[in-house]
Amino acid sequence: MTFRALALTLAVAAAGTAAAADVAGITVVASPDAPKAIGPYSQAIRAGNVLYLAGQIPIDPKSGELKKDAPIAEQTKLVLDNLKAVLAADGMTMANIVSTTVYMKDLNEFATMNEVYATYFPSNPPARATVQVARLPRDVGVEIGAIAVKP
């Protein structure tokens, strides 16, 4: 990544605006309605008609409150709502998602997570991988990343 691309990426992330910084066909997408990135990454990157969404964790975008102790159903809903906000910043919806990766602290909670997840994809759900991990950022119970395509 060139210095210019990095500078533009950081400027967009700091500004918290809906979209921006087109550098060599790569566009940083950010939404003020989703939590700001908690590290050196973007909420999403669009390359052509494909949007790569960073994993979201259960942070309330309005208050900044981390919901790590909330039940897995509430965490999952907040994570998916955050992904939905980032998609909207690029003119997309959950229907544009073609693949997700779900990271869970405890797969014993899979059925509960899956029940909430299914409400966001009532028809033609995306491909999905779900894995249990030893630990997630800020010790949350679930993180979900996605790939979306704009036809």
Domain count, the chain: 1
Q: What is the CATH number of the domain that holds 89?
A: 3.30.1330.40
Residues recorded for the chain: 151
Residue 96, phi then psi, degrees to nearest 5: -80, -15
Q: What does the pLDDT look like over 15-36, one tens digit per residue?
A: 444 444 456 789 999 999 999 9
Domain housing 83: 3-149
Q: Residue 149: how many CB atoms within 10 A of its CB? A: 14
Per-residue confidence in pLDDT tens, the chain, 151 aa: 443 443 344 444 444 444 444 567 899 999 999 999 989 999 999 999 999 999 999 999 999 999 999 999 999 999 999 999 999 999 999 999 999 999 999 999 999 999 999 999 999 999 999 999 999 999 999 999 999 999 8
